[in-house]
Each structure stands twice: as structure tokens, then as C-alpha cells.
Amino acid sequence: MRRLPAEWEPQRFVQLTWPHAATDWSSMIDDVNRCFVELTLSIIRFQPVLIVCADTHAVEGLLRAELTKRKGKLQLADTGGWFGNRGESEGTGDPFSGLIRLVELPSNDTWARDHGGITVLEDGKRVICDYGFNGWGQKFEAGLDNALTAKLHAAGVLGDVAYRDCLDFVLEGGSLESDGQGTLLTTRECLLSEFRNPSYTQEMIEQRLKDDFGLVRVLWLNHGYLEGDDTDSHIDTLARLCDRDTIAYVRCDDPVDAHFDALQKMELELRRFKTFSGQPYRLIPLPMADAAYDEEGNRLPATYANFLILNGAVLMPTYGNALKDELAMNQLKLAFPDREIVGVDCRILIEQHGSLHCVTMQY
């Protein structure tokens, strides 16, 4: 029996793929390094992190410098650590012995959500499914990223877990939202892209998903997008399952905004969806992030829906508007009353058209 876990289920660690100078981050490498350091330190408050990087010594240096500054001020996860190595308590020990693992491998970019392995449970045992990643429909070079999961598994980095080669099928983690009980929420715009799996019809894709993940049903959204999004409307930029009965989603209330019509139609679709018990979903609207633009005047895909659920916490992207950041945080508190909501400044991440959830993958 196969089952695709929900993100709110217990996790072992989170993967980051660190930016480096040979990526599109080269012109802003210092700023994005600071963001990744902050993201790493936020994660290890709750659980271990695996960092894939081009230079382990350089990344360790960045992290140790910031850990030294915060010595005695940063409470770290008291967990089983990295596959049995006990994590460190506040102000003591070395996080690299139990909470941070660095692995040096070549990569094209940083979007671990889409090139990372997808964890499936088979009769209760973990299997890492390695799907094809082709740069969101052949938009960008992705050969190095596509090879990462197999290399990590071969090196034993992912632990004592089975591996399934699914590279014949292009599928990105950002396009999937699971309730852990057989429901998948996704978008037609992404999964039916002609440059991902061109020989598959919608019916064939749905059957593949049901077979691979033990699904009972797939909820398809026809509407919703963000300007500047390279992913063809990944669901994790628009609407997120928070428990089996709750969906948090981006709402646009400004009729002048270019997203207004599509997001209003998406909201109507969400209202029509029903839970397994036949009831409407509890819908929690998230504010539309302030419009942000690159140097050429192109709008960037800032979204509060791109949050990451951890063991005991939710990391939420913030974008520099204190009022909207606080509103989004309060809305997520409604969705996750038993988890700490932690803001991470992600203004630099949207410069390359992604955000917090996009650069992380939970195992």
C-alpha cells in the first residue's frame, strides 16, 4: 500500500541546495547567502538540514560565523539529530554534529522543492521517488539538478531508505499538495504542460499519480497564476493544504491588480471542492503580497502561500511590508494553531522567481 504523506506529518530533515557563483545568483550572491544562512538557522531550531553545495568549506564558514554571533541566543532542536546523532541543546555543542550535514555536489540552481526526492510510504516504509526535472518544461538547464537525488541516495546521505527511479516522468514537488489520506491538489496549467510529459493525457497523468502515490482522487485547479512565475502555476504558490479539511490560499481583492480575475476564479473553484466527508473545505485567505519588480520592470512572484511546514513550526516568507507580513502570519496561525509561525525575509529569493518553499524539500 502506497501513501504520499502530508507535509505536516513528522519529518526527518529538510534539503537545501545552496546557491553558488556559477548560477544565476552570481550578481547577488552575498544577499542570497545571507538569506540561506537565515533559513538554515530557522530550520535547525526544529529539525536537521541537509545542505547540498558546491563548496562545503565556504558554506560551513558562513554558517559558523553567524552561529558564533548568536551563541547562547539561538535555541536549537533537541532531536534524534542526523539519523541517530543527538541534536544539540541551546548554547552547547556543535550543530554540525547532529543538525547540519553538508554534501559537496555540482548543481545548476537552488530549487530543491523541484529537483529533490519525493518521499512515499509503502506499507509504512519510506521510499524516495526520483522524478525527472527538466527545468520547468525545458525553460532552463537542469541536468546537474536532475542527477542530485540519485547521487545523494547512492552516497547513503538520505539514510536507510529505498530508492525508486521515476525519471521517465517529469514531476516537481512544488506542483503537489497532499493531505496524506489520498487527496492531491494540483493545477492543470503545470501538470498538462506540453514540455513536461507531452505523450500523456490528463487521464494518463492522473492514473500515474494515483498508481505512484496511492491516491483516491485528484483535485485539479483550472485558474490561478502569478506574474513572473516560471513554474506554470505550481500549486505551492497559490493554495496549500494545511490539514485534511483546510486550505490556505492567495486572495486578491484589488480589481486593478492583474491577478484579480484569475485568483477570484480560483477562489470559486476552491469553494466548490469537498473534503472526503462531503463538506466544503475550511478556506483561509492569505493577503496578496505587495507588487515587486525587477530592474527591467517585470513583476516578481511574491506569495505568502510559499510557506514550509516543519516539525512544530511553519516558516513563512516575508516581503518587507510589516502590516501584510503580520496579516499573513496571523492567518497562518489560524491554519496551524499548534505550530510556531516564523518569518524569513525572502525578498532576495523572488529576484530569481521563487520563494521559501521552492528552495526547500522535506524528507
Q: Over 90: is that where the pLDDT of 30 sits?
A: yes
Which pLDDT value is given to residue 93?
Answer: 64
Taken in order of first residue, the domains within the chain and their CATH numbers are 2-362 (3.75.10.10)
Q: Which of 136, 222, 135 is nearest to 185 (CA)?
A: 222
Mean pLDDT along residues 225-240: 97
pLDDT interval class at 88 (50, 70, 90): very low
**Strand order across the 14-17 sheet:** 100-104, 49-53, 14-17, 360-362
Which pLDDT value is given to residue 89?
Answer: 41
pLDDT interval class at 71 (50, 70, 90): confident
Mean pLDDT along residues 330-344: 98
pLDDT tens sequence across 100-114 = 999 999 999 999 999
Q: Give one DSSP letter per residue of 126-168, joined into a string.
A: EEEEEEE--HHHHTS--HHHHTHHHHHHHTTTT-S-EEEEEEE
Which pLDDT value is given to residue 90?
Answer: 41
| CA 175/CA 64 separation, integer angstroms | 34
| CA 226/CA 204 separation, integer angstroms | 27
Predicted TM-score (pTM) above 0.75: yes
The counts of H helices and E strands in the chain are 10, 19
Contact status, residue 338 vs residue 284, Cβ threshold 8 Å: no
**Residue percentage of the chain with pLDDT more than 90:** 93
54 Ramachandran zone, left/alpha/beta (phi>0; psi -120 to 50)? alpha
Which pLDDT value is given to residue 133?
Answer: 98
Enumerate the β-bridge partners of residue 104: 53
Which pLDDT value is given to residue 97?
Answer: 83
The SS3 call for residue 233 is coil
pLDDT tens sequence across 135-189 = 999 999 999 999 999 999 999 999 999 999 999 999 999 999 999 999 999 999 9
Contact status, residue 12 vs residue 47, Cβ threshold 8 Å: yes
Q: Which of 122, 279, 114, 327 is nearest to 271 (CA)?
A: 279
Mean per-residue pLDDT over the chain, rounded: 95
Angle between helix axes 29-43 and 56-69 (nearest 10 degrees) is: 70
Mean pLDDT along residues 250-266: 97
